[in-house]
Amino acid sequence: MFEKLVDVERRYFDLEGALVDPAVIANRKEYVRLSKERADLEEIVQCYQEWKRVAAEVDGHKALLDEEDEELRELAKAELPALRQQVEALEAQLRRLLLPRDPNDDRNVILEIRAGTGGDEASLFAAQLFRMYGRYAEQQRWRVEMMSASATGLGGFKEVIALIEGQGAYSRLKFEGGVHRVQRVPVTEASGRIHTSTVTVAVLPEADEVDVHIDEAKDLRIDVFRSSGPGGQSVNTTDSAVRITHLPSGLVVACQDEKSQHKNKAKALKILRARLLEHAQAEQHAEVAENRRSMVGTGERSERIRTYNFPQGRVTDHRINLTLYSLDRVMDGDIEPLIDALITHYQAAALQAAS
């Protein structure tokens, strides 16, 4: 580990030198790339330098144990345990920081929420989950853009797709994908029986054009049609809705929320790229995913990952056996405790695998 840290520190100082080079400053693309690489290494280097400082203090205190001055020896002996604990904590942090980063962590997110079993109740809960993630995004100062929605008459969603733009959006939301189960008495239930419904959430990293090559002339079939459903005077009067079929994979994406056919096409392509990127990365990392699955479960969308029990006011994440009795706050976007616990859990699993 420490050989790697020496290399990381050397690279960090090399980057600092490069970033004051006039030739690099003049090349904006190269400057941005090197700046990002330096920023990615900064926390590791700062932690390593702190470790070196504290480790030197430990060595200094050990040397004082051989001093003739008894008072100095006792002082060194008293301070050593705390310093050793600090060294151990910094080493644990360094191991965590050296874990391979998910290359998608800094990407924006395509969030897809779909009603599952439960009819109208599932659609209503889909709308509530969308609001929950929207409120969390507000707290993080991220931007949320509706990409596509299929609304129901009761204020729910059969399906809603949104783009969430912000620093670290994917790194914070990537463990939210899966089946979310709700247990409560529906408003329409006269007898007061508790119903169980499900909603599926997918969290995809937004793909850049360079990540997924699409030959629009050969790979896509683009159909236009008239929008349907609520939407004002222009609905059903112009062919503004767009359906894109990716012929090589068979993936189909439709968008009709915008009045402009051009805007609907752009949104549909953005969703399509995200799905194709996810598919490509899943194939590339199939072997790694199989190893990870044996350690931490599959995490696939077919699994029930979380239950929201309204009568008991609790939320339970089944992957980490965490239960919070703060359902109202969670539904209002306070999902940070869940997200932090999930990140800690998966980091611990990755550390165990690495060791």
CATH of the domain at 330: 3.30.70.1660
Give the CATH number of the domain where residue 19 resides.
1.20.58
Domain boundary among 268, 283, 298: 283
The pLDDT, as a whole number, for residue 64 is 86
Tell me, yes or no, whether 225 and 178 share the same domain. no
Mean pLDDT (the chain, rounded): 83
Domain limits for position 326: 109-206+287-354
pLDDT digits (tens, 9 = 90+) for 30-80: 898 898 888 888 888 998 899 999 899 889 888 888 888 888 888 888 989
Tell me, yes or no, whether 116 and 93 share the same domain. no
Backbone angles phi, psi at 209, to 5 degrees: -60, -30
The pLDDT, as a whole number, for residue 229 is 56
Closest CA to 197 of 261, 117, 97, 257: 117
Give the CATH number of the domain where residue 247 resides.
3.30.160.20
Rounded Cα distance, 289 and 298, in Å: 8
Q: Does residue 221 have a pLDDT over 60?
A: yes
Q: In what order do the strands lie in the sheet with 195-205?
A: 143-151, 157-165, 109-115, 195-205, 178-184, 304-309, 314-317, 322-324
Closest CA to 244 of 268, 278, 262: 268
Tell me, yes or no, whether 154 and 54 share the same domain. no
Rounded Cα distance, 244 and 107, in Å: 24
The pLDDT, as a whole number, for residue 218 is 82
Rounded Cα distance, 212 and 276, in Å: 7
Any domain includes 104: no
Rounded Cα distance, 60 and 133, in Å: 51
For residues 230-252, give the mean pLDDT: 70
CB atoms within 10 A of CB 171: 18
Distance of CA 63 to CAs 81, 85, 91, 322, 331, Å?
15, 18, 22, 46, 57
* Structure-token pair, residue 346: 């998966």
Domain boundary among 235, 260, 283: 283
**Against a cut of 0.85, is the pTM above it?**
no
Radius of gyration of the chain (CA): 26
β-bridge mates for residue 243, sequence order: 223, 254
* Structure-token pair, residue 347: 């980091």
Q: 19 Cβ partners below 8 Å, 6+ apart?
A: 25, 31, 34, 35, 38
pLDDT digits (tens, 9 = 90+) for 188-207: 676 778 899 999 999 988 87
Report how many domains make up the chain: 3
Tell me, yes or no, whether 228 and 201 share the same domain. no
Rounded Cα distance, 55 and 78, in Å: 16
Residues 275, 281, 284, 286, CA torsion sign: negative
The pLDDT, as a whole number, for residue 355 is 60
Tell me, yes or no, whether 234 and 197 share the same domain. no
The pLDDT, as a whole number, for residue 235 is 46
Q: Does residue 227 have a pLDDT over 90?
A: no
Any domain includes 103: no
